Amino acid sequence: MHTYTLLHTQQKEVVVEPLIVGVLLFVPLLALLPTTAAWHLAVTCSHMAAVALRMLLLLAASLLRHNPLLLLVWRLVHPMAFPGVYGCARVCGWVGWCVCVC
């Protein structure tokens, strides 16, 4: 026969495994989240700065490569290098544009 006393009451069993996983896994990950987020933000910003610098350098190189003023200056410095020195000459560039130089 069972006798019930105030000191001997049934308690619900506490499962320890989820408690251990929650404390030992999620708390350190939660503590490292700001550091990880700051590192990813810094790496992303530096990558974007490198890409922007590369784009600016490519733009400057293409402007220097395909500038019609280069042919006009070359015409002024070396006038005999172009056909039609006496009169107007049609000077065409590499990408299909043409300029009449007198």
Domain boundaries, the chain: 1-65, 67-102
CA 89 centroid distance within chain: 46
Give per-residue pLDDT as tens, 20-76.
Answer: 777 888 888 888 999 999 999 999 999 999 999 999 999 999 888 887 787 788 878
Residue 97 CA, chain-centre distance (Å), reads 34
The reported pLDDT for the residue numbered 81 is 74
30 and 37 Cβ atoms separated by less than 8 Å? no
How far from each other are the two terminal CA atoms of the chain, in whole angstroms?
123
Question: Across residues 92-99, what is the average pLDDT?
Answer: 60
Residue 9 pLDDT > 80, yes or no? no
